[in-house]
Amino acid sequence: MPTRSGPARDRAPSAADRVPSRPSARRTGSARRSAPTAPVDEVVVGTVPVPARLAGGLLVLAAVLAVVALFPTYLVVGGTVVSPARNAGSVLVALLVPVVSAAVGVVLARGAVPKFGLAYAGTAAALSVGPLLIELYRGSSSTSRPAVEVLAGEKVLTSSVEIGAGWVLGVASLAVFVLAGLLAAFAWGRTVMEDGGTLDPVRSALAGAGVLLGVGTVLCLTLPAADVPDRIVTDPSTHMQTVVTSEGPQALLERPGLALLGGLLLAGAIVLCSVVAPSLRPRLATVGALLALAVAVLDAGLTGVRDALSSSELEWTVPGAGLLVAGLGYVLLTVLAWRLRRTPSSERG
């Protein structure tokens, strides 16, 4: 029986003789499952219907009307001419909503990410119905029960009211916003736009934060953002000090008639939109709805700051500061909805 020689038996195997070991299929699958999966957020956009593009055009038209309304006379109240464009700061505050609305309207009219623009238009319309009724009250029946009001930073008494071109253009702008929202609602079900569902795992958290911000915003709106401070009067004979309360501007729910109905509708719309916005699909629709809420609430907060700074008779209030904080909170929610990416649990397992 032949035997191998020693050198041949002791020779180390060469590189060519070595066969790399292959991992088993079980190890490969386990390693693949344990590897982190990058969230996929592919947006699929179908044919954009004509009503959706028309809604974008109406958003642009409403924004243009709102900008033009800043410069003519708004109202003549009790002999005082009121105009929103008192100074550069007033103009900048008043331009916030029109500029954002015009930008979103252009994107929607072009047919890009349509449900983003449709969600913005629908939310903006819901938030415009209340202010539209309040404006109709100011221009038509506010003299039936004269009261102190703050209009564009002016403290006035509504003993007599004459409407100006600025009021007419402002009312037309709000009406066009409402019409754009109606078209957006009509086009929503006919518009195809889907994504990978990367926002789904955090929608409940966004909804909870939205409810808190909505309720907080409504509570802040129930009191004026800028009010007349109380005066302390000292009796010269007794040196006793007493607090004299001065009549200040009316809060959202203190006005009668159409204005009261408008205030209730605005409060309800803020809470309802805050609840519904995080549930909209796809993710960019949630971003659009939250953006509309953010600019509306932030505009209300900045308006209170403007009124307090432009009049020596008014001071900024705690509810006014709360409105500003709520507006910044909505901005934060909008950014989170835009930037958050999470892999759905069905894809992880």
Instruction: Please choose, from the candidates 179, 64, 94, the residue with its C-alpha nearest in 3D space to the C-alpha of residue 132.
Output: 179
* Centroid of chain to Cα 137: 25
Higher pLDDT, 78 or 153: 78
Instruction: Please choose, from the candidates 327, 317, 308, 329, the residue with its C-alpha nearest in 3D space to the C-alpha of residue 90.
Output: 308
* Centroid of chain to Cα 161: 32
φ/ψ (deg, to 5) at 298: -65, -35
Residue pLDDT, tens place only, 226-263: 877 766 666 677 667 665 566 667 778 888 888 899 99
Rounded Cα distance, 221 and 249, in Å: 12
Torsion angle (degrees, nearest 10) of CA 131, 133, 136, 137:
-100
Q: Which residue's entry shows tokens 């894809």? A: 347
The share of the chain scoring above pLDDT 90, in percent, equals 49
Neighbours of 341 (CB within 10 A): 14
Return the half-sphere exposure (C-beta side, CA atoms, 13 A cut-off) of residue 243. 4
Instruction: Please choose, from the candidates 323, 291, 244, 237, the residue with its C-alpha nearest in 3D space to the C-alpha of residue 123.
Output: 291
Considering the entire predicted model, what is its pTM?
0.83
Q: What is the Cα gyration radius of the chain? A: 30
Bridge partners for 234 per DSSP: 241
Residue pLDDT, tens place only, 272-330: 999 999 999 899 999 999 999 999 999 999 998 888 887 777 788 899 999 999 999 99
Amino acid at 179: L
Can you tell me the mean pLDDT for 99-119? 95
